[in-house]
C-alpha cells in the first residue's frame, strides 16, 4: 500500500485494545528487566512496538511521526543511561537500517521505507541484539507464510504481509529473554 506521510495514521482503529496490550507488554518488560532508567526506556519502546505493529497490520504503513523521533529518543536515552554502549547502539541502528535500505532499493515493492526506519529503531533499542530480533522476526514471518501456504495453497504466495509486526515481536522476545 502506498501513501503519503500525511496519510499514515498515528493510532490504530482499535486503539483502546492496543493500548491495553502495549501497557501489558511494557509492564512485562519492565518487570523482567528492572525498574531503572534503561529498563523504563525498554518498557516504553516495547509498548511503542505493539502500537506500531497494530498500525502496520491495519494500514501497511509505519508512521514517521512515531518511528523517527522514537529512534532519536532511544539514542539519547542510551547516551544518558549507558553511555558506554551508545556507539554499539548507534552502529547497530545504522547497520540494520542500512541492510534494510539496500533491500528496499533492490525490491521496493516488497520492502518499504517504514521497515527501514523500524530497523533503525530496533538497532537503537537493542544494540548488537538487533541481529537476534531480526532473525526471530524473519523466522516468525516465514512460519506464518508457511501456514498460509498450507491453508490457502499457491494463492497465498501472492499475498503481501506487513513485516513490522513480526520484527516488533522479535524485538519484544529479545527484550524478554536476553540476559539482564
Cβ atoms of residues 124 and 93 within 8 Å: yes
pTM equals 0.92
pLDDT tens figures, 72-93: 999 999 999 999 999 999 999 9
pLDDT tens figures, 44-71: 999 999 999 999 999 999 999 999 999 9
Amino acid at each position: 500500500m502506498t501513501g503519503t506521510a500525511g496519510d499514515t495514521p498515528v493510532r490504530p482503529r482499535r486503539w483502546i485494545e492496543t493500548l491495553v496490550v502495549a501497557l501489558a507488554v511494557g509492564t512485562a518488560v519492565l518487570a523482567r528487566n528492572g525498574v531503572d532508567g534503561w529498563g523504563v526506556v525498554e518498557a516504553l519502546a516495547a509498548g511503542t512496538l505493539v502500537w506500531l505493529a497494530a498500525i502496520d497490520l491495519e494500514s501497511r504503513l509505519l508512521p514517521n511521526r512515531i518511528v523517527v523521533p522514537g529512534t532519536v529518543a532511544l539514542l539519547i536515552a542510551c547516551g544518558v543511561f549507558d553511555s558506554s554502549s551508545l556507539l554499539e547502539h548507534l552502529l547497530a541502528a545504522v547497520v540494520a537500517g542500512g541492510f534494510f535500505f539496500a533491500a528496499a532499493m533492490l525490491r521496493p515493492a516488497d520492502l518499504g521505507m517504514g521497515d527501514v526506519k523500524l530497523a533503525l529503531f530496533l538497532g537503537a533499542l537493542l544494540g548488537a541484539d538487533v541481529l537476534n530480533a531480526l532473525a526471530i522476526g524473519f523466522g516468525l514471518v516465514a512460519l506464518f507464510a508457511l501456514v498460509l501456504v498450507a491453508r490457502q495453497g499457491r494463492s497465498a504466495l501472492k499475498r503481501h504481509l506487513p513485516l513490522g509486526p513480526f520484527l516488533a515481536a522479535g524485538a519484544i522476545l529479545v527484550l524478554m529473554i536476553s540476559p539482564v
